[in-house]
Amino acid sequence: MAVKRIEPGPRMSKAVVYNGVVYLAGLTADDTSQDVKGQTKQILDKIDALLKAAGSDKSKILSANIWLTDIKNWATMNTVWDPWVSPGNTPARATVEAKLADPKLLVEIMVQAAV
């Protein structure tokens, strides 16, 4: 089976499609002046766009890993996540605290979806 890469860069690809699954990179916000809500919204928009590029959508997300630089933002992040997910089609998910590559980043999300 062929491996298809979406927006492949010299370090990583934004998404990789193989055997009916799309693996997305860990995604972060571009506008890091925004708070955790705004950053989460930016990330979910990126996920929507990359899933579309892969021929998938958020109703097909299988699994999600979420990292927050401060786990106290868990409930706030969920206020953006909960209305976004596809009702009845929510993924397996794990959320933990971790520092991210840039100190201004507050959240990073990595998902895998069916295509």
Q: Give the whole-angstrom CA distance, residue 100 versus residue 28.
A: 9
Question: Is residue 110 a contact point for its own copies (CB under 8 A)?
Answer: yes
Taking the complex as a whole, the smallest distance from the CB of residue 12 to its own copies amounts, in Å, to 4
State the sign of the Cα–Cα–Cα–Cα dihedral 78, 81, 83, 87.
negative
Total residues in contact with its own copies, by rule CB under 8 A: 51
Residues from 49 through 108 that contact its own copies (CB under 8 A): 60, 62-65, 67, 71, 74, 78, 81-82, 85, 87-101, 108
Q: Is the CB of 15 or the CB of 36 nearer to its own copies?
A: 15
Over the range 67-94, which residues count as b (16 or more CB within 10 Å of their CB) and which as e?
Answer: bbbeeebeebbeebbeeebeeeeebeee
Question: Is residue 33 a contact point for its own copies (CB under 8 A)?
Answer: no
Question: Is residue 114 a contact point for its own copies (CB under 8 A)?
Answer: yes
Instruction: Give bridge partners of residue 111 from the DSSP assignment.
Output: 64
Q: How far, in Å, are 9, 15, 19, 71 from residue 12 at the CA level?
A: 5, 9, 19, 27
Site for its own copies, rule CB under 8 A: 1, 3, 5, 8-16, 18-21, 23-26, 60, 62-65, 67, 71, 74, 78, 81-82, 85, 87-101, 108, 110, 112, 114
